[in-house]
Structure 1
């Protein structure tokens, strides 16, 4: 059942399905029994559009023209054109005036009897009127007036007063207006009637909304109502359920298994986006910005960032104000961090309020000259170095990749900057490889170092870092080969010597484990062989004893026989 919370505007998960289709103000009918059935089926519903009549594609009718509608033998003559292009579809609720006559002009039905001007409300698809008339109304626009000629089958079964069986029927119809009706769950459990349309944006599954609502039984008794300013909208999957609810305060009781009508107005909407895809970086838009363009990677945005905030800002447009919630995995991690104002505890969830004032648009790579590409690559590399120094290895790796995109091998490079481009490219590969080692992506580190060695086979740093990755993957022989070559090139390199010493220790430990493994294997084989031999000896002894016993028994029998 709906209930208010202190915080206005948070739509809980249970009530989302009802509001996801809303754009402004609606009346929603909940059928308890059907809703229970829906819950039992998992609450699933098709996203297909409401089924409407299929009408052959043809030019619009002009006033005075006549045309057949579909295969039902219905003909339509346009008397007055309507407004716009939209037409109603089942189960919409239409308001019409109509006059029904026989071909000779005999009147048998009219909403204008006695000069009255009260229109008729018809729920399309409910069978309120003959099927032919409903099909005709589904072709009309608001304000349109048309004459429909129905075949002589319309009232054949019912035998309506004043209508001879087998008569053709004529209906002059004026479509005044209609209310859009949507069967939200496609099972009658939740039916929404749009009373007034809002802005052209529907709510999403994660969005935060503020709603006003009033819930009534079918006899118009009010059973729940939100505060004037709106509140949280919370509805159980089975409406008020089989048990109903007792009267409380000024509100009426809800009998068991009751259907209810709910008048709902969507007051405000704050779109919420799952930025990271795992609900750990969430952005809630508090104020919309201008335009559609968002910052690309590499563009300058004035902000102090964590990884989560960086990714959230990349989804914002200029002028947008947002609240960004960042879980610790995308924030400061599991370590305590000292900031300017406070110390941030380990594993803290961070909440930012961010306004994107502006960002500097950088040229696309294809718009740059060779010198500009080199300058942009160097700038991105420096940014990567700065991020690496403060432990932001993943973001540093992105900067090195960005730098390489400016000076990729497929791009045209002028002769005078070719050596500089090669130097920057190798530097970015090596730095990216270090990031991969920190991030435990050893296969990628090996790949990056191998790219360097294809160009500079004697690059000691590339050999050293590739050896590090090989050791982590326990490919000790390949690591040994790289370190041997690195020491041939630079015999006094302390880092390489230290890694080689570590490799020797690992090799000794590996050899020791191998010896123990084989020793255990041989011991097991020997033990199994000894056990088999002992078993055979025991079997032989037993056999010999049995043979001796048998021989003695035979001898005794012989003696007795004599």
Structure 2
């Protein structure tokens, strides 16, 4: 738990023992990557164990600080997943999903989880700014969890999530796009009640779910994760042209030129007219020749 009780004993001038209870506050990293991008310090614990999930309706009072100057102060009621439409930083909405009802917390955001290299002209936040927020989660109404939805609802929701991920990617919001992609697998992985038609739609979504994050991971230079997602996609369809091409890109990014060349050759075997694969194959062969020349 972020809050720790410590008992301190102290002698008074009259040799009486005084007992103090001191609260120590620990900082908690809320990122999956554990990169210190979202740090929370709980001031007052909330009630119960429920926390906002994706789609939950929340009421939040917040104060935003940049260089100790208040730049944002408001009370909002919104659906989790729509915070960016209200000019909330990406990392702040992730932090809100860790709060309990009634909780007061301080959240620190590194630039990549705040407004990034673009900054926020509207609130005069400069590029690469670190931010601090004081949060109070006043109320929450949880959305249905995956296990509470029927197969039709899951497919409908996943289609929406996939489209939202595509929008984020086009806008260059790669971390947000990546989060959308991850949801699809967790919602569909253990579903066994689909009809034959639903199963086909599910298969298409499950194939897209490891493929779609790969471009985000390449943009974020998470090359090992991109390679793993390519493997997952090709386990579902070993002749998937897009999966093989992106696998080649990922191998090329980590200088595995031989593996990358083999990937692009497979793509050309499946689709001889793929100009992008032919171009990348030429790059691989050039890099291999340069590597051999350096060894000599």
Does the pair score TM above 0.5? Answer: yes
Bigger proportion of residues as helix? 2
Alignment partners' CA distance in 1, 2:150 and 2:115: 39
**Equivalence for 1:326:** 109
Pair 1:274-2:28 in alignment = yes
2:255 aligns with one of 459, 468, 474: 474
1:425 aligns with one of 206, 214, 228: 206
Structure 1 residues 395 and 420, CA gap change in structure 2 (3 angstroms): same
Alignment partners' CA distance in 2, 1:483 and 1:292: 50
**Equivalence for 1:341:** 123
**Equivalence for 2:288:** 507
Q: Report the alpha carbon displacement of residue 308 of structure 1 after superposing the two structures with TM.
A: 3.3
Equivalent residues in 2 for 1:57-456 (5 A)? 191-193=17-19, 203-206=22-25, 273-276=27-30, 281-284=38-41, 290-297=47-54, 299=56, 300-301=79-80, 303-304=83-84, 305-333=88-116, 335-342=117-124, 344-408=125-189, 411-456=192-237
Alignment partners' CA distance in 2, 1:298 and 1:505: 49
Contact 1:295/1:314 (<8 A) preserved: yes
Structure 1 residues 284 and 455, CA gap change in structure 2 (3 angstroms): closer
Contact 1:449/1:463 (<8 A) preserved: yes
1:315 match: secondary structure: coil
Contact 1:275/1:311 (<8 A) preserved: no
Q: Report the alpha carbon displacement of residue 468 of structure 1 after superposing the two structures with TM.
A: 0.8
Specify every segment of 5 or more residues in structure 1 that has no aligned partner in the other structure, as ranges.
Answer: 1-16, 32-125, 127-180, 182-190, 195-201, 207-271, 516-562
1:500 match: secondary structure: helix
Alignment partners' CA distance in 1, 2:134 and 2:199: 45
Give the TM-score normalised by the residue count of structure 2: 0.74
Structure 1 residues 374 and 513, CA gap change in structure 2 (3 angstroms): same
Q: Report the alpha carbon displacement of residue 278 of structure 1 after superposing the two structures with TM.
A: 7.2
Contact 2:51/2:101 (<8 A) preserved: yes
2:270 aligns with one of 467, 478, 489: 489
Q: Report the alpha carbon displacement of residue 483 of structure 1 after superposing the two structures with TM.
A: 0.9
Q: Report the alpha carbon displacement of residue 285 of structure 1 after superposing the two structures with TM.
A: 5.4
Contact 1:487/1:496 (<8 A) preserved: yes
Alignment partners' CA distance in 1, 2:91 and 2:12: 40
**Equivalence for 2:65:** none
Contact 2:258/2:284 (<8 A) preserved: no
Alignment partners' CA distance in 2, 1:424 and 1:279: 32
Alignment partners' CA distance in 2, 1:358 and 1:389: 33
Alignment partners' CA distance in 2, 1:448 and 1:288: 38
Structure 1 residues 318 and 411, CA gap change in structure 2 (3 angstroms): same
Alignment partners' CA distance in 1, 2:283 and 2:160: 37
Alignment partners' CA distance in 1, 2:220 and 2:160: 23
- Deviation by residue 1:468-517 (Cα, 9 ceiling, x = unmatched): 111123222222122122123333333223222222221221222133xx
Higher-Rg member (1/2): 1
Contact 1:377/1:404 (<8 A) preserved: no
Contact 1:464/1:496 (<8 A) preserved: yes
Alignment partners' CA distance in 2, 1:500 and 1:414: 42
**Equivalence for 1:29:** 11
Q: Report the alpha carbon displacement of residue 420 of structure 1 after superposing the two structures with TM.
A: 0.7
Contact 2:146/2:187 (<8 A) preserved: yes
Give the TM-score normalised by the residue count of structure 1: 0.41
Structure 1 residues 480 and 371, CA gap change in structure 2 (3 angstroms): same
1:351 match: secondary structure: strand
Q: What is the number of residues matched between the two proteins?
A: 264
2:53 match: secondary structure: coil
Alignment partners' CA distance in 2, 1:205 and 1:385: 43
Contact 1:433/1:465 (<8 A) preserved: yes
1:503 match: secondary structure: helix
Structure 1 residues 204 and 451, CA gap change in structure 2 (3 angstroms): same
Contact 1:298/1:380 (<8 A) preserved: no
1:387 match: secondary structure: helix
